A and B are shown apart, each in its own frame.
Chain A
Amino acid sequence: MIGFIIRRVLAMIPVLFLVALITFFMMKQAKGGPFDQEKEVAPSTIALLNRKFGLDKPAWLNSAEFSNRLSTEGNPFLALRGLFDSQFGNYLINAVQGDLGPTYASKGTETVQDKIKETFPISLRLGMISLAFALLVGFPLGILGALRQNTIFDYFSLIISTIGFSVPTFVTGLLLLLVMSKVFDVAPIKDPSVWQGFSTSYIPPAIILGLGTMAYITRLTRSSVLEVKRQDYIRTARAKGLGDRVVILRHILRNSLIPVITILGPAVAGLVTGSFIIESVFRVPGIGSEFIGAIGSRDYSMIMGSTLFFSLLVALGNIMVDLSYGLIDPRIRNS
């Protein structure tokens, strides 16, 4: 088991490296430097800023520094650090140590990791509430639909899950906002302090964010219960005279929850990364809003930092799935 975890964690490294590589490459392609402003900035100021953030160094490999160190030190292994004294190399080396660099928007007074530390708890709370919603509504809806197949309950659960599964969250979110403001006359939230700690303001965005996951859980639970319902051991259980309650709780539900639990890993990651659209719709000051803002202002260090952070979360979510497979199903654990 421990070997399995280690292997999975090591497999994350190429993915994260690729994400960093692609993001960095893309950011280099984008037009306009990070210090381009509406009004003209003196070239000497830009040169100073570039130097301060190490943007005057080569983008990928610093061969000049390599040959420089090679001639002064002579040891090619020590000189290798010079080769990676480039924008990308330094970024990676710092990122591994948890330093994602200063945000360009703040002109270097704030670091990306500070921003993440400040805004991620809000996104995490939002994600936790929506996961709770998705589980508490999705499971019962799917189970009810399958146990009463082709009745009004089933159709209701099918309709809800098809809508939640297919309609993008920003559409349902905006429609909810519209209904809230036109029908119930709820004013949009302006005071940012309501997002510190749990509060009722989290409920509307959390429901919308959890809608897709809820629908997915409903669909999966329904098909899984339907599958288990037809198994021979259920017929055996009924044949030996067990009551409905015992058959459903002990035999059907236990077995049908296995495939559902395994999607929770990506569901959590999806809720966290999917949150940025919902956050900007409902004006939640989480990491997603920060990311959207960074796209607008072309704050490349913030975009890179949060992309890496999001990718790490997704990768951890994927590891959780594989682990949960092993924990739940002994056949997989032992293979």
Chain B
Amino acid sequence: MATASNVAGKSPAQAQEFTRPVRSLWSDAWLRLRRNRLAMASIVYLFLLALVAIFAPVIAPHSPSRPTSTELRERGTYRQAAWIVDEKNPKRSGVWKFPLGTDSAGGDVLSRLIYGTRVSMVVGFIPMIFTLTIGITIGLVSGFAGGKLDSLLMRFTDIVFSLPDILFFIIVQTAFSQTAFGKTFNGLLLIFLSFSAVNWASVARLVRGQVLSLKEKEFVEAAEAIGVRRGSILFRHILPNTLAPIIVAGAFIVPSAIVTEATLSFLGIGIQPDTNPNNPFPTSWGQMILEGKSAIDSQPWILIASAIAIASITIAFVALGDGLRDALDPRQ
């Protein structure tokens, strides 16, 4: 009854709107994304990994750090994965207490794998935020201001863009990883900064291009005509319209940051191993791969488990990025 009187009280146009919900760009994109099964599976998987990362101390069966000497006797070093029976060396046969076996120092591989999720999650998202912030700022300023400032900023961006990035990271790590600054958060801070210091350039180019084309659009002209201030035009009219490509770019920055950390840790110059049991980031998958490489014959599961972990997280992020691109760009 109340509904009916409400509808009756409005004009016919409003009543029609009531029956047909508004579909914005975002709800449209969400509908398209939901139809993409691979992208949805990736979202579920990444959500689970995020839970694992947050609740690592609860989920992990053992402490990820070096065991005490009594624990070590029980764990053994290079114990095989649970389903493998080592006939020559029964002490190293797998037991279900350590499902994926133990490493060279008697650390439980499964627990390390669980804690390693934290590094990959953090190292994926924080540099993405840094990179996008720098890139968007420079791109917006450059595109909106134009003139001398634009060409100066773009010349600088071009130079940064053509730096060979992995070499730059290696040089930075070699130089700073032993300093106090380089040891902050197990060296994670240094990786965040050096990653963002190079990768903002492509975001800045993208945003500038968007701003340049949006500046010529009729709605911006209309806003100028009714006397909207430049700042408002930039943030209320131009920035929201650049969001879709920025989101897609951001989705691809995450896996590339994860791969960067893993690569550096694999080279032995990424995050540093820590024996402090209270450290929230005691180990990373890249480190485990480095260790697993030298134990490839004696305990292959250190390598296999961490390799599958890195491969699956990057595939999930790339699949999500692909899904977002298809969902947000209807022209494709």
- Chain A residues in contact with chain B, CB under 8 A? 11, 14-15, 18-19, 22-23, 26-27, 29-31, 162-163, 165-168, 170-172, 174-175, 177-178, 181-182, 223, 269, 273-274, 277, 280-281, 292, 295-296, 298, 303, 307, 310-311, 314-315, 318
Complex Cα distance, B21 from A70, in Å, reads: 81
Q: Are B171 and A174 in contact (CB under 8 A)?
A: no
Q: Are A277 and B315 in contact (CB under 8 A)?
A: no
CB distance from A279 to the nearest CB of B (A): 12
CB distance from B203 to the nearest CB of A (A): 18
Q: Are A174 and B159 in contact (CB under 8 A)?
A: no
Q: Which B residues touch A27, using CB under 8 A?
A: 171, 174-175
Q: Are B175 and A30 in contact (CB under 8 A)?
A: yes
Given contacts A30-B174, A315-B162, 11 further A-B contacts (CB under 8 A): A15-B162, A26-B175, A27-B174, A29-B179, A31-B179, A172-B311, A178-B300, A277-B267, A295-B170, A303-B174, A311-B163
Once A26-B175, A171-B289, A295-B174 are accepted as A-B contacts, the answer to whether A314 and B318 lie under 8 Å apart by CB is no
Of the candidates B178, B296, B319, B322, which one forms a contact with A174 in the assembled complex, judged by CB atoms under 8 Å apart? B296
Complex Cα distance, B180 from A29, in Å, reads: 12
Interface flag for B317 (CB, 8 Å)? yes
Interface flag for B293 (CB, 8 Å)? yes
Once A162-B318, A181-B296 are accepted as A-B contacts, the answer to whether A15 and B163 lie under 8 Å apart by CB is yes
Q: Which B residues touch A292, using CB under 8 A?
A: 267
Of the candidates A11, A18, A26, which one forms a contact with B174 in the assembled complex, judged by CB atoms under 8 Å apart? A26
Q: Which A residues touch B174, using CB under 8 A?
A: 26-27, 30, 295, 298, 303
Interface flag for B17 (CB, 8 Å)? no
CB distance from B266 to the nearest CB of A (A): 5
Q: Are A170 and B164 in contact (CB under 8 A)?
A: no
Say what secondary structure dominates the interface of chain B.
Answer: helix
CB distance from A292 to the nearest CB of B (A): 7
Interface string of B163-177 (1 = CB under 8 A from A): 110111011101110
Which of B23-31, B71-79, B146-154, B302-310 is the contact stretch?
B302-310
Q: Are B262 and A168 in contact (CB under 8 A)?
A: yes
Closest residue of chain A to B260, judged by CB? A168
- Chain B residues in contact with chain A, CB under 8 A? 158-159, 162-164, 166-168, 170-172, 174-176, 178-179, 255, 259, 262-263, 266-269, 289, 292-293, 296-297, 300, 303-304, 307, 310-311, 314-315, 317-319, 322, 332
Q: Which A residues touch B269, using CB under 8 A?
A: 295
Q: Are B317 and A175 in contact (CB under 8 A)?
A: no
Say what secondary structure dominates the interface of chain A.
Answer: helix
Complex Cα distance, B300 from A318, in Å, reads: 40
Q: Are B300 and A15 in contact (CB under 8 A)?
A: no
Q: Which A residues touch B319, using CB under 8 A?
A: 162, 166
Q: Which A residues touch B307, using CB under 8 A?
A: 171, 174-175
Q: Which A residues touch B255, using CB under 8 A?
A: 166
Q: Are A168 and B300 in contact (CB under 8 A)?
A: no
Q: Which B residues touch A303, using CB under 8 A?
A: 171, 174
CB distance from B163 to the nearest CB of A (A): 7
Q: Which A residues touch B293, using CB under 8 A?
A: 174, 281
Q: Are B311 and A15 in contact (CB under 8 A)?
A: no
Once A162-B318, A177-B296 are accepted as A-B contacts, the answer to whether A170 and B266 lie under 8 Å apart by CB is yes
Q: Are B296 and A310 in contact (CB under 8 A)?
A: no
CB distance from B298 to the nearest CB of A (A): 12
Q: Are B166 and A273 in contact (CB under 8 A)?
A: yes
Q: Which A residues touch B263, using CB under 8 A?
A: 168, 170, 277
Q: Are A307 and B296 in contact (CB under 8 A)?
A: no
Q: Which A residues touch B167, using CB under 8 A?
A: 273, 307, 310-311
Q: Are A166 and B163 in contact (CB under 8 A)?
A: no
Q: Which B residues touch A273, using CB under 8 A?
A: 164, 166-167
Q: Which A residues touch B318, using CB under 8 A?
A: 162, 165-166
Q: Which B residues touch A181, using CB under 8 A?
A: 296-297
7 contacts between A and B (CB under 8 A): A22-B171, A30-B176, A166-B319, A177-B296, A277-B267, A280-B267, A307-B171
Complex Cα distance, B171 from A285, in Å, reads: 21
Q: Are B311 and A163 in contact (CB under 8 A)?
A: yes
Complex Cα distance, B178 from A29, in Å, reads: 10
CB distance from B136 to the nearest CB of A (A): 23
Closest residue of chain B to A318, judged by CB? B162
Closest residue of chain B to A170, judged by CB? B266
Closest residue of chain A to B318, judged by CB? A166
CB distance from B62 to the nearest CB of A (A): 25
B170, B178, B304 interface centre (most CB from chain A within 10 Å):
B170
Once A165-B318, A167-B311 are accepted as A-B contacts, the answer to whether A29 and B176 lie under 8 Å apart by CB is yes
CB distance from B167 to the nearest CB of A (A): 5
Q: Which B residues touch A296, using CB under 8 A?
A: 268
Q: Are A174 and B289 in contact (CB under 8 A)?
A: yes
Once A18-B163, A168-B314 are accepted as A-B contacts, the answer to whether A295 and B267 lie under 8 Å apart by CB is yes
Q: Which B residues touch A277, using CB under 8 A?
A: 263, 266-267
Once A170-B263, A174-B303, A303-B174 are accepted as A-B contacts, the answer to whether A274 and B166 lie under 8 Å apart by CB is yes
Q: Are B314 and A314 in contact (CB under 8 A)?
A: no
Q: Which B residues touch A269, using CB under 8 A?
A: 164
Closest residue of chain A to B293, judged by CB? A174
